[in-house]
Chains A and B, each alone.
Chain A
Amino acid sequence: MSNLSRDDVAHVAMLARIQLEDSELDRLAGQLDQIVDWVGQVNEVAAADVPPMSHPLPLVNVTRPDEVRPSLTAEQALANAPDPEDGRFGVPRILDEE
Chain B
Amino acid sequence: MNAATRATAGTAPTVPYEELLTRYEPVVGLEVHVELSTATKMFCGCATGFGAEPNTQTCPVCLGMPGALPVVNATAVESAVRIGLALNCRIAEWCRFARKNYFYPDMPKNFQTSQYDEPIAFDGWVDVEVPANEAGGEAFTFRVEIERAHMEEDTGKSTHVGGTTGRIHGADYSVVDYNRAGIPLIEIVTRPITGAGERAPEVARAYVSTLRDLMRALDVSDVRMEQGSMRCDANVSLMPTGSTTLGMRTETKNVNSLRSVERAVRYEMTRHAAVLDAGQAILQETRHWHEDTGITTSGRPKSDADDYRYFPEPDLVPVAPSREDVERLRATLPENPAERRRRLQDAWGFTDLEMRDVVNAGAVEVIEETVAAGASPAAARKWWTGVLARRANTDGVAVTELGVTPAHVAELDGLVTSGRLNDSMARQVLDGVVAGEGAPAQVADARGLELVQDDGALQAAVDKVVAANPDVAEKIRGGKVQAVGALIGQVMKQMRGQADAAKARELILTTLGVEG
Question: Which positions in A face B, CB cutoff 8 Å?
Answer: 11, 14-15, 17, 54-55, 57, 59-74, 77-78, 83, 85-95, 97
Contact = CB atoms under 8 A, between A and B. Distances in A.
Contact of A88 (B77, B96, B176): B176
Nearest to B38: A66
Contacts of B57: 71
Interface string B169-183: 111111111100000
Contacts of B161: 85
Contact of B59 (A62, A65, A71, A94): A71
Interface of B: 38-40, 44-47, 53-60, 63, 71-77, 94, 96, 101, 103-105, 108, 158-161, 168-178, 304-305, 307, 309, 311-312, 314, 316-321
B175 A91 contact: yes
The 9 A-B residue pairs with the shortest CB-CB distance, nearest first, are A69-B45, A54-B312, A66-B75, A88-B175, A63-B74, A60-B320, A87-B54, A91-B105, A74-B55
Contacts of A72: 55, 58-60, 63
Nearest to A52: B312
Q: For the complex, would chain A's binding face be called helix, strand, loop or mixed by DSSP majority?
A: loop
A90 B47 contact: no
A62 B72 contact: yes
Given A72-B59, A93-B174, A15 B101 contact: yes
Contacts of A64: 45, 71-74
Contacts of A73: 56
A55 B319 CA distance: 13
Given A63-B71, A88-B176, A94 B54 contact: no
A83 B94 CA distance: 43
A89 B174 CA distance: 8
A90 B174 CA distance: 6
Nearest to A11: B304
A93 to B, nearest CB: 5
Interface centre among A59, A71, A86, A88 (most CB of B within 10 A): A71
Contact of B73 (A63, A86, A88): A63
B176 A89 contact: yes
Nearest to A78: B55
A55 B55 contact: no
A77 B62 CA distance: 10
A17 to B, nearest CB: 6
B422 to A, nearest CB: 48
5 contacts: A55-B318, A64-B73, A86-B54, A89-B55, A91-B173
Given A14-B304, A69-B40, A92-B173, 10 more contacts: A17-B103, A54-B314, A62-B316, A63-B74, A63-B77, A64-B73, A72-B63, A83-B173, A88-B159, A95-B171
A58 to B, nearest CB: 9
B58 to A, nearest CB: 5
B443 to A, nearest CB: 36
Given A11-B304, A62-B72, A86 B320 contact: no
Contacts of A59: 317
A27 B196 CA distance: 56
Contacts of B38: 66
Given A71-B56, A93-B171, A66 B39 contact: yes
B177 A88 contact: yes
A68 B173 contact: no
A57 to B, nearest CB: 6
